[in-house]
Structures are given as C-alpha cells and as structure tokens.
Chain A
Amino acid sequence: MTYIAKPKLHHPSLAKNRVGFTRRDYEGKISTLCAGCGHDSISAAIIQACWELDIEPHRVAKLSGIGCSSKTPDYFLGNSHGFNTVHGRMPSVLTGAYLANRELIYLGVSGDGDSASIGLGQFAHVMRRGVNMTYLVENNGVYGLTKGQFSATADKGSRSKKGQSNNDAPIDLVTLALVMGATFVARGFSGDKAQLVPLLRSALAHQGAAVIDILSPCITFNNHSGSTKSYDYVREHNEAVNRLDFISLREEITADYAAGEVIDVRQHDGSIVRLRKLHADYDPTDRIRAMSYIQEHAARGEVVTGLLYVDPEAADLHRQLGTVEQPLNTLGAAELCPGSKALEKINAALR
C-alpha cells in the first residue's frame, strides 16, 4: 500500500462522461491492501465500468461483508454510501437496502471466505430471490486478513504457502449461482481488465441477480507454485468462452461481425450484451448447457471465464413482490398510515 494521499485537484483536461464526471470522481480512498493485490485491479475495473456507464456515483450503494475483499468498497466510488456489514451476511443487508429503495444500483462485494465459507447460505438465498444487484466475489482461495488459511474455494490438492495440502473439495460459486437461480453468471480474472470491464458493465445493467466470480490472486498468501489461484496458474489455465461488448441504450451499434460469430442479448432495460464467440458451441442463454460446460472444462483443469449465463427475461424481486414503483423509503404517513377512521372499523370488527 501507499500512504501518499491522492491529489484532490483534478486536471482540467480530464475527460468527462455524459453525467459530467471524470474518471477520478469514481475513485475512493487509497487502498490499504498489499501492493499487487488482485482486488485493487478489480476496484480499478469497477471505477472504469461505472464511469463508462455514466452512472452518477451517489446512485450506487456498495455493500460488503468482512475480509480483504470487503474492505475494498472504501477504495472506489468515494461519494457513494458504503456498508461494511458482518462476515458472510452482506447478501441479507443488501436485500433489505434494495427493498427500501429499488432505484439505487446495488453492488455487493465479497470474497471466497465471506461467500463460500461463512456466508454460503446467504449467497445461495440471495440468488434464489432475484435481488437486483451485482454481486462480486473477489476469489483468491485464501484468508488474507487472518494470514493464509484455506477458504472453501481452494482446490483439492492445492498447497498453501506453508506447504500444507488442501483435502476438502472446492465449492464452485459459479455453478452454485446457476443452480440457485442467478440470472447473470460470469467468471472473470483480475488480471484481464479487457474482459472484466465489459463483464461489469453488463452485470450492472442486468435487472436481476448478477454474479461475477473474479479470480483475484493473493499476492502475499496464495501466489506460489502449488496454488491454483496464482497469477501464473490462472493465466495458463484460463479458457475464455467469449469476449463481450456491452452496448447501453444510448450507444449506436457500429461494430460489424460475420453471422454466427456474435450473439446479441437484449436485456430488460433495452441494453444489449454483444458476445463474440470464442467457442462456437457455447450458448450463454442455455443454463443447463452452461452448467455441464463448466464441469467438463473444470474436469480438464481449465478455468472457464467470460459470460457463462444470462437470462434476458430476468424478473427482479420487486416485480415478483408487486411493490409500488416509488421507493418505499420515500413514502410518508399519507401513503402508509390508514388513519383513525380505518382503525375504528377494525375496532368494530373486534367486538
């Protein structure tokens, strides 16, 4: 980490997006993570994606659990409200926040210990409910803050820095998310920003439960040989299924591709995710196929990345509940309190 404060003044020539903000306006405090941490690259990708999407920073609510990953919301979108909740329980807090105000953009930031170990239950249930959110797992297979213990995503047979071998079967959060009903499921790599930023942009625009499992090597405790979450290992075994462009409502579709090379997925809000196929037989709207594809490649030791599944017709929890459009936190006594006359009727029925 660096301790030198970032300059507050921004250069006047910095490019502004459509809502008048420079990229620097999406930054947060200086990271206190180790130099070279994958998580910092993810924070940079979030900054880039939000700036490119013209999201006003304060319209985002960042929620996290506990751990290295969960500290990161302090390091991006400094003008947004953030909430560092308790270990493994961010999904429920995010759900409650989203119930209160459906108009904000909810970004959940978690890690592998937070989501796959202590928080596996909440991870599964938040996917089932279709909470409209982008849920990031900054996955390094190890506990950083408590210094190097295996997490539940560590591969069987992988070795810790101290030389111990992991005997437990790993939890694959991507597969779990698919089983549990997440409607946007992707895997990225912190070392591949070109892939990660469009994934983030697509996920943020998705109107439902979007999850991205981001392999994010721990430079201090899990970047050695024998680790399956190191920079070298992931680079060697990364098998991207597609490259995507995210096209928001305002953007013109200009790129031209030969038929069969691309799939356009129009999302609920009208935005389009354009996928350039890297594997001819991969269809990201087929959930069952996605699950077997991931398993087949995992058996070969390959880490499949890219947009693995998207349901363009996803319905979020508020639509399922039939809630009013107006955010609940803006309703006052006039809309909420039935008043004394209604109460008198209730009293009469109880006599």
Chain B
Amino acid sequence: MQKIEAVNDFVVKFANINGSGSASANELFARAILRMGVPVSPRNIFPSNIQGLPTWFEVRVTEHGYLGRRGGVDLMVAMNPQSWEQDVREIDPGGYLFYDSSKPVPRARLRNDIHVLGMPLTEICNDTYSDSRERQLFKNIIYVGALTTLLDIDPQEIEKLFGEQYKGKEKLFDSNLQALNLGREYARQHLKPIALKVERRDRVGDMIFTDGNSAAALGCIYGGATVCAWYPITPSSSVPEAFERYAQKLRTDPASGEKRYTIVQAEDELASIGMVIGAGWNGARAFTATSGPGISLMAEFIGLAYFAEIPAVLINVQRGGPSTGMPTRTQQADVLACAYASHGDTRHVLLFPEDPHECFEMSAQALDLAERLQTPVFVMSDLDIGMNQRLCRPFAWDDDREYDRGKVMTREALDAGTDFGRYLDVDGDGIPYRTYPGTHPTKGGYFTRGTTKNAYAVYSEAGADYIYNMQRLRQKFETAKSLVPLPVLTAARYPARFAAIFYGSTGPAMQEALAALAEQGIYLNALRIRAFPFQNEIADFIAAHSKVFVFEQNFDGQLTTLLINEAHANPASLVPVLHYDGTPITARFITQEIAERVARLNVRPLRENMVA
C-alpha cells in the first residue's frame, strides 16, 4: 500500500466534539510545531453550537510558509463517532487514521487504502482517572502525547508551553505532563511508526501567531479609538472582547485606575452604530464590530453618517449569508452590501485586510481615514482571518506617527473670522470643515441632519443645494482614492496574458497557487485589491490582460460586479471564480480552476479543425 511520506509538509485534521476541551489541546499541538521553527496554519471549523456537535481543527504543517488552506488530509485524528464516516472518507489515499480503539470498529467502516492507528484512549483514561472531567480533558492531552511520538515533535517544546500556561500552578503542570508522557509511552510501545515527520527548522523567524479579531482590536487601541459600542454576533464578538482586554492593560491610568476608553454592549446593532455615530459627531474616535446581519440592521444609520458626514469605523467580520446564513463559516459576501449600504445614492470606503497584520494596520488606518474623509469606513475582515490564529509579520508602529484628525475648525480660527460652512468645499477635495460641539460660544454651531441642507448646514429643499452636496460627496469619494491603500502586484516571471485579482483572506492560498501554477508552466500576474474606491491602477491592470480571473469567496461575484460598476472594467475580460461553501478557499482549488481555464482558453479547436 502507498504511504504518504512528508517532512514538515502535511495536514493533520482533528475531529472532535465541541465543548470537550479539545481546542486547547489541539492548539498546543500546533504551537509545539511552531516552536520547532516550522510554520503551521491552523483552522477551526466549528458549528453554531456550544456543546455536543462535531467540530474540527485542521493543522497545516508547512515548511514553505503556505498559510492558506491546502485541501486534503494526510492524518485524521478521529475522536468523534458522529462524524466518523465523513472523516474517514476525507483522508488522502496512503494517509493515516488515528482513532480511539476502546470499542472495536468493524473493518467495513475502515478503508483499505489508508493506514490505521488505533489507541484505546477511553480505556486508558478510565483506568488512570476517576473524575469524569479529568477523563475527558486528559484524553485530549494523551492523544497529543501519542502524536508527538508519531510525528517526532520535541516533547521539550510542549513541556515549555505547559510551563508558560501553568505558571505557578504546579499541580496542573505535573498532571498535564503526566498525561502527555502516558500518550508518548503508549505510542512508543504499541503504534507503528508513520512517514509524516516534523524536523526542526528556522523558518518562523520573527513572525507572530495571532488571530485577526485580536489584531483588529489592537489596531483600534493604537489608532486611538476611545469609544467601542457593539452587539454580540459571531464571528465578530472577540473584537470588542479583545479591545477590552488590551485596553485594561494599555489604556488604564496607572495612578488613578481610570479608563481612557469606554465600551458599551448595546441592545442591538442599531444602537451600537448609533453610539459610534454620536461619538464620532462629538469628536471621539469610535468603532463597532459586527457581521452581515448587523450591517443590514445598521443600514439606515450608515446612510445618515454618509450624508451628515460623520466619521465611523465598522469592522465587519464576514460570515456566510444571506439571512442568518452560516454563522460559523467564512465568506466574502458583504462586499456589495457594505459598498452601497443604505438607501439613496451612497457609497462607502472599504478596506480588505489579508491577515492579522493587516487587520491591525487597517483598523488603525480606518480611524484616520474616517476622520479625514468624515465618513463611515469598513474593515472587511472575515471569519477565516478573524477567528483563526495565523502566522504573520509582527505588528509595527512608528512612534512619530500622528493621528490624522481631519479638517476640524478650531475656536481660534472661528475667532479669526474664518468663514465656516459645514458642508462647504473650500479646498476642492470635497471635504468640508467641521466643528466639535462646544467649540465656541457664538460661532461654529450648526444643526446636523439627514435631510438636505445648503453648504452652511441650513435646512434646504432647493434642488441646487442638493446637487451641490451630492456632487461634492462624489468629489470626496474621488479624494478617497488617493488615501486608501494601493493594490499589491505579484508579477509573473514571464510576460503574461492572464491575470488574477483577489482580496482579503484569499491571499495566502493564492500565493501558494501561483507558485504551483508556475511549476506547471502557467504564469499569471496577480493583483491583490486592498481597498474600495478602486484606484486607476486597478482599471489599468485589467485592461492590460486578455482575461482576469477574479477569485471571490461568495456566490454572486460581488467584487466582479463592483469592478464593472466602479472601475468600468470590461465584463468580457473578467472571469469570476467563486468558492462559497463556507470553508476557506484552498490553494488546490485555485490551482485547479486556473489550470483548467487556462488550458481551455489556450486551445483553439475551431481553427485546428479547419483543415484546408
């Protein structure tokens, strides 16, 4: 029988029952490999449920640092009888199945083309522990122990991780170590060696291992947000929770214990965006975090902020829609909903982070952009980036960086007699000046409204005033192009007719696919879009290629629509390639799709058949 052999390049998938404490054991496994200098990319695939349903944790071990999802499974750790059939089916031929053999499994439920490793985990736990919770939790550690033996993972690294986790809790440290060794010893004595191995390398460097939601929260801390208003919704809830955790450490006055931040858990998303808008109107930096259904609820308020020109930052951790959709699955399906959120002629600035590093950077930048442009700004993260730990470049901050508070008219300027028209374009960039409430006893006060007004914020239903305002808003959106992050080009080694456009969490899988395609002799230029409005570079890029594959994790090809609408791209040259089953897009999917399509495009059967 074939045997998959690999060093530092394989996929281990853990099938567990949620609520069983497996998540921390699986994370321990992933971290131990990282500590050996070998990059890993873990993904949590979990149900919208607290206890009892199937949950999976996939760890990709990747010496080359390919952090996207590869597709396929080399070693399945099948700990959940509920999902057994599906889990066994998923293993690549020649791969390995590790399972709890306390109860015999009939041969019919196994496969002939995989290698089976049975370990009586329940039996071992029942013999060793009397407490039922201990039996459950240590079972996880015991299988991690067995895996370290099978895969040659250095147990010293796990011991160190235990030491960090259970600092000052000797008893817990000892009992965990004991369970680990129990698993190691069993595997050494009873299990046949396998051909998947981890070898120590130095490929992690100074990279950090964190999730996008924590990173976005930290970006809001560094970006100067002082007001966070939110409503719990998967997969965004850990953004405000991380904001609170970081703020307690980084924003509490050490002397008085007073807080330089506020967090309000609102009664719904309407209230949370209302609070953000109120705070933005009053000159504080404010943000909310939400997901698709929250965006739908916020729509009216988003239009108000657009038209009344109030800064607001929304971190949208996208999930599968429509409606409640797939709350614990990932998609990029809110692109259009956010680009045009609200009734009337609105359009909004979107930023597309690729990984936690960019979640940090773009959240901080969004706070600047929102104040500079006096408008809502969306950070379009998704569940794949937000809730999974990802290896990425370390966070960086330039201490000379100042916050861009935008055009704010001061008391001094008003006293000097400066003409103040709240909606007056004085600089030709479409951005007017604003005053904070309470600036001056007799000057600079104005009445903010969602109804139409003239350039001096006086109520007006005159057509000319409305047109002036709408055209100025369009001018402002043009200005935004020069402020938002530019796309990133990955140029092919040779001149290429074909190209790919992608954004957000598709990034890592795409980089890997490009390398795989190059090995097959297929060369593409690839452009990662990082923001909307689209800069001219994007339109030029599309025009320079005969076909551009647009990779999206949604069903409708939403970015493609936006490119046609807003970058005036030729629809005939755009080919949407869509991955929308709720799992993260894989490098194998991209490689296969491009290879097939390129082959079809290169073949010219008509001409070849026209013999004489």
**A interface residue numbers (CB < 8 A to B):** 56-59, 61, 63, 73-74, 78-86, 89, 91-101, 103-104, 121-122, 125, 129, 318, 321-325, 328-329, 331-333, 335-340, 342-343, 346-347, 350-351
Contact = CB atoms under 8 A, between A and B. Distances in A.
Contacts of B448: 81-84
Contact of B267 (A85, A99, A125): A125
Contact of B280 (A78, A85, A94, A96): A96
Given A86-B304, A103-B438, A346-B395, A96 B257 contact: no
Nearest to B229: A96
Contacts of B229: 92, 95-96, 99
Nearest to B275: A96
Contacts of B446: 81-82
A323 B438 contact: no
Given A96-B278, A333-B403, A336-B260, A121 B251 contact: no
B438 A104 contact: yes
Contacts of B85: none
Interface residues of A, dominant DSSP: helix
Interface string B237-281: 000000000000011010011111111101110111111111111
Contact of B438 (A101, A321, A322, A339): A101
- Looking at chain B's contact residues, is the secondary structure mostly helix, strand, loop, or mixed? loop
Contact of A79 (B272, B442, B449): B442
A83 B281 CA distance: 9
Nearest to B443: A79
Given A97-B278, A351-B209, A331 B226 contact: yes
A83 B278 CA distance: 9
Contacts of A80: 437, 445
A83 B434 CA distance: 13
Nearest to B300: A86
A74 B222 contact: no
B399 A340 contact: yes
B347 to A, nearest CB: 19
A338 B264 CA distance: 22
A92 B278 contact: yes
B274 A58 contact: no
B222 A337 contact: yes
Contacts of B263: 321
Contacts of B435: 81
Nearest to B286: A96
Given A74-B459, A94-B278, A329-B226, 16 more contacts: A58-B445, A81-B437, A84-B451, A89-B271, A92-B278, A93-B278, A96-B275, A97-B437, A100-B227, A100-B283, A101-B437, A101-B438, A103-B438, A323-B258, A336-B251, A340-B399
Contacts of B222: 337-338, 343
Contacts of A83: 278, 281, 308, 447-449
Nearest to B395: A343
Interface string B276-292: 11111111101000000
A100 B398 contact: no
B259 A81 contact: no
B283 A329 contact: yes
11 contacts: A73-B447, A85-B304, A86-B301, A96-B229, A96-B279, A99-B279, A101-B282, A129-B264, A329-B284, A338-B250, A343-B222
B275 A95 contact: yes
B193 interface: no
A129 B221 CA distance: 24
A130 B598 CA distance: 63
Given A92-B271, A93-B275, A337 B224 contact: yes
Contact of B450 (A85, A318, A351): A85
Specify which of B395, B436, B447, B451 lies most central, judged by the most chain A CB atoms within 10 Å of its CB.
B447
Interface centre among A92, A122, A333 (most CB of B within 10 A): A92
A80 B447 CA distance: 8
B412 interface: no
B394 A81 contact: no
B439 interface: yes
Contact of B260 (A93, A95, A121, A335): A335
The 10 closest A-B pairs by CB, nearest first: A96-B278, A92-B274, A100-B284, A81-B437, A96-B275, A329-B283, A100-B282, A93-B278, A96-B279, A350-B208
A59 B274 CA distance: 22
B181 interface: no
B224 A323 contact: no
B441 A337 contact: no
B494 interface: no
Contacts of A338: 221-222, 250-251
Nearest to A350: B208
B217 to A, nearest CB: 11
A74 to B, nearest CB: 5
Contacts of A337: 221-222, 224, 397, 403
A205 to B, nearest CB: 18
Contacts of B279: 96-97, 99-100, 328-329
A323 B262 contact: yes
B333 to A, nearest CB: 26
Nearest to A81: B437
Contact of A329 (B210, B261, B275, B282): B282
Given A86-B450, A99-B275, A101-B284, A121 B268 contact: yes
B266 A92 contact: yes
A74 B438 CA distance: 16
Contacts of A104: 282, 437-438
A342 to B, nearest CB: 6
A101 B258 contact: no
B440 interface: yes
B596 interface: no
B218 interface: yes
Contacts of B224: 331-333, 336-337
A84 B448 CA distance: 6
A81 B227 CA distance: 20
Contacts of A336: 221, 224, 226, 251, 260, 403
Contacts of A89: 270-271, 274, 301
Contacts of A343: 222, 395-397
A58 B259 contact: no
Given A97-B282, A121-B268, A81 B445 contact: yes
A27 to B, nearest CB: 13
Interface in B206-232: 206-210, 218, 221-222, 224, 226-227, 229
A57 B446 CA distance: 12
